[in-house]
């Protein structure tokens, strides 16, 4: 606990300036709506992360990413094959300060859920410090069952009930034995990356946000920042129609520019594809091209059918690995093997469940330096172009593997397609909930600094 607290203090020292909130805009509740919310994102493996372990080897980090990916995708499934308890979220985390005393919390960024929640005292489990104490915050107010719309069940993504003190209790079950339980409340949040190196002096105070105050959870984290599109999300509460994030290559553990932007000024990119929102964010994959070779995939497998709730590729911020349906995965793997040919020696030692991962001996940055660009074409001719850094992951000092998994083998026969965060690296990613468009653009995230200043 002491080590975690010291590391959190180390992070806190990076950001300690503020600007007052801009009250010029009003949301549909009548509250002040900040024009744009910007905060740094920290990856689980980053040297700035409270989870950072300098003794972890390449193999350790690779296993953490693999287990975390399988666990997170399994959380989409009610009765998953793969279970981890207690679990730790292993993607990107956002800085959010909470309450009157602005207690800094590092919340897991999750596009697959909506409620923003954090741990509260008294808490029944071993969880990361610091833990928020509602009793010392004058801006904390528990939601009253008789007065709260949220306690009336307007958001079907979690359960609500009234306790003996007439407070609104919530219960979220994520599917993979993961849960968060506590009370709903309104609280003041301070959101901002105030490091001068990143965004100069900029932070925003957001008042009267309905949040979850967790008293028990199975997830080893400060909490979760849900970016889903249901009534409980920060996006909906403040009528934001856009959010975006920029992810650098997180194998560089000292990279400081990963960024989350929430606001209607979020840049609209030209390379966009229609998005379907049904609990999660879905896009339609049309084709895959490895160099000059077009794979013979069936685009109907990747097309979302909103009537049957089937198909489509989930855009996921919590899984490092991407997932393809079994048949299409086999074609993709065959295409990769065809390009590599006999130039590298294959390793068969890396297995997960009944799946032998596609792995080779060597250093992917050296041995795959001339690997051709792979293009994932989505509906509306939106091309996501990626290189070896997004396709593969180094699993030991002398081996690397394809960072994709076949869905049916891994997930109880379920047919899933998932665009993981490794595939989103090196891009500015934009979600437009008004136009229902998902767009992306290759970018070094330090360039976002100038964009934010232009918009403020």
Q: What is the DSSP track for 152-184?
A: GT--TTSEEEE-TTSBEEEEEE-SSS-EEEEEE
**Do residues 445 and 248 lie in contact, with contact meaning Cβ atoms separated by under 8 Å?**
yes
Residue 27 is predicted with a pLDDT of 40
Helix (H) or strand (E) holding 63: helix 58-74
Report the alpha-carbon distance of residue 319 to residue 329 in Å, rounded: 17
Q: Can you tell me whether residue 61 is helix, strand or coil? A: helix
Q: Can you tell me whether residue 373 is helix, strand or coil? A: coil
Burial of 94 (0-12, 13-18, 19+ CB in 10 A): buried
Residue 456 is predicted with a pLDDT of 38
Report the alpha-carbon distance of residue 156 to residue 134 in Å, rounded: 26
Q: Can you tell me whether residue 280 is helix, strand or coil? A: strand
Task: Please give the C-alpha separations between residue 279 and each of 304, 384, 445, in angstroms, as whole numbers.
Answer: 13, 24, 28
Query: Peptide bond before 86: cis, by omega within 30 degrees of 0?
Result: yes
**Do residues 57 and 45 lie in contact, with contact meaning Cβ atoms separated by under 8 Å?**
no
Burial of 19 (0-12, 13-18, 19+ CB in 10 A): middle
Residue pointed to by tokens 């998902």: 438
DSSP at 200: S
Structure-token pair, residue 220: 């080893």
Domains and CATH numbers, the chain: 2-51+88-262 (2.40.70.10), 272-425 (2.40.70.10)
Neighbouring CB atoms inside 10 A of 369's CB total: 10
**Do residues 411 and 77 lie in contact, with contact meaning Cβ atoms separated by under 8 Å?**
yes
The whole-angstrom distance between residue 91's C-alpha and the CA centroid of its chain comes to: 6
Structure-token pair, residue 38: 């910007």
**Do residues 433 and 395 lie in contact, with contact meaning Cβ atoms separated by under 8 Å?**
no
Nearest by Cα to 390 from 404, 406, 411: 404
Report the alpha-carbon distance of residue 152 to residue 239 in Å, rounded: 20
pLDDT in tens, the chain (456 residues): 433 333 334 333 333 322 233 333 344 334 444 568 889 899 999 999 988 999 999 999 999 999 889 888 887 775 455 555 446 678 999 989 999 999 999 999 999 889 999 999 987 667 888 999 999 999 999 999 888 888 887 888 889 999 888 899 999 988 667 889 999 999 999 998 544 444 445 678 999 999 999 999 988 889 999 999 999 999 999 999 999 999 999 999 999 999 999 988 766 677 899 999 998 999 999 999 999 999 999 999 999 999 988 899 999 998 999 999 999 999 999 999 999 999 999 999 999 988 999 999 999 999 999 999 999 999 999 999 999 999 999 999 999 999 999 998 888 778 889 999 999 999 999 999 999 999 999 999 988 766 554 443
Helix residue spans in 258-382 (DSSP H): 326-340, 364-367
Report the alpha-carbon distance of residue 190 to residue 101 in Å, rounded: 10
Residue 119 is predicted with a pLDDT of 95
Burial of 225 (0-12, 13-18, 19+ CB in 10 A): buried
Report the alpha-carbon distance of residue 456 to residue 452 in Å, rounded: 6
Half-sphere exposure of 162 (CA within 13 A, CB side): 11
pTM higher than 0.85, yes or no?
Answer: yes
Handedness of CA 233, 238, 239, 242 (dihedral sign): negative
Residue 30 is predicted with a pLDDT of 40
End-to-end CA distance of the chain: 39
């Amino acid at each position: 606990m002491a080590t975690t607290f010291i590391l959190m203090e180390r992070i806190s020292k990076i950001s300690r300036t503020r600007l007052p909130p801009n009250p010029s805009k009003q949301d549909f509740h009548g509250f002040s709506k900040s024009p744009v919310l910007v905060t740094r994102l920290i990856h689980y493996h980053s040297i700035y992360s409270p989870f950072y372990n300098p003794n972890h080897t390449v193999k350790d980090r690779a296993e953490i990413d693999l287990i975390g990916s399988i666990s997170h995708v399994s959380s989409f499934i009610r009765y998953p094959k793969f279970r981890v308890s207690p679990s730790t979220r292993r993607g990107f985390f956002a800085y959010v300060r909470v309450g009157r005393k602005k207690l800094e919390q590092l919340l897991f960024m999750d596009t697959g859920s909506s409620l923003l929640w954090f741990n509260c005292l008294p808490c029944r489990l071993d969880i990361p410090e610091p833990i928020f104490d509602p009793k010392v915050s004058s801006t904390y107010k528990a939601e009253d069952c008789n007065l709260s719309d949220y306690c009336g069940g307007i958001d079907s993504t979690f359960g609500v009930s009234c306790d003996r003190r007439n407070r609104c209790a919530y219960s979220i079950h994520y599917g993979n034995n993961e849960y968060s339980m506590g009370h709903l409340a309104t609280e003041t949040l301070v959101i901002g990356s105030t490091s001068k190196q990143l965004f100069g002096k900029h932070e925003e105070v957001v008042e009267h946000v309905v949040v979850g105050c967790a008293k028990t959870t199975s997830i080893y984290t400060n909490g979760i920042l849900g970016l889903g599109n249901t009534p409980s999300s920060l996006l909906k509460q403040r009528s934001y129609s856009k959010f975006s994030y920029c992810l650098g290559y997180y194998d560089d553990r000292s990279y400081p520019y990963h960024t989350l932007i929430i606001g209607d000024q979020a840049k609209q990119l030209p390379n966009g594809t229609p998005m379907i929102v049904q609990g999660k964010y879905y896009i339609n994959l049309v084709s895959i091209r490895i160099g000059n070779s077009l794979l013979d995939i069936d685009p109907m497998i990747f097309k979302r059918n909103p009537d049957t709730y089937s198909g489509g590729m989930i855009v996921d911020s919590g899984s490092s690995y991407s997932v393809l349906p079994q048949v299409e995965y086999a074609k993709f793997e065959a295409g990769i093997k065809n390009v590599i040919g006999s130039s590298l020696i294959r390793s068969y030692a890396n297995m997960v469940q009944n799946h032998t991962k596609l792995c080779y001996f060597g250093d992917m940055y050296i041995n795959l330096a001339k690997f051709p660009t792979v293009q994932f074409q989505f509906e509306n001719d939106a091309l996501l172009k990626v290189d070896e850094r997004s396709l593969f992951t180094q699993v030991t000092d002398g081996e690397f593997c394809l960072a994709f998994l076949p869905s049916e083998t891994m997930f109880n026969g379920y047919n899933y397609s998932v665009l993981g965060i490794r595939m989103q690296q090196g891009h500015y990613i934009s979600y437009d909930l008004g136009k229902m468009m998902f767009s992306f653009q290759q970018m070094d995230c330090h360039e976002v600094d100038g964009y934010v200043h232009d918009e403020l």
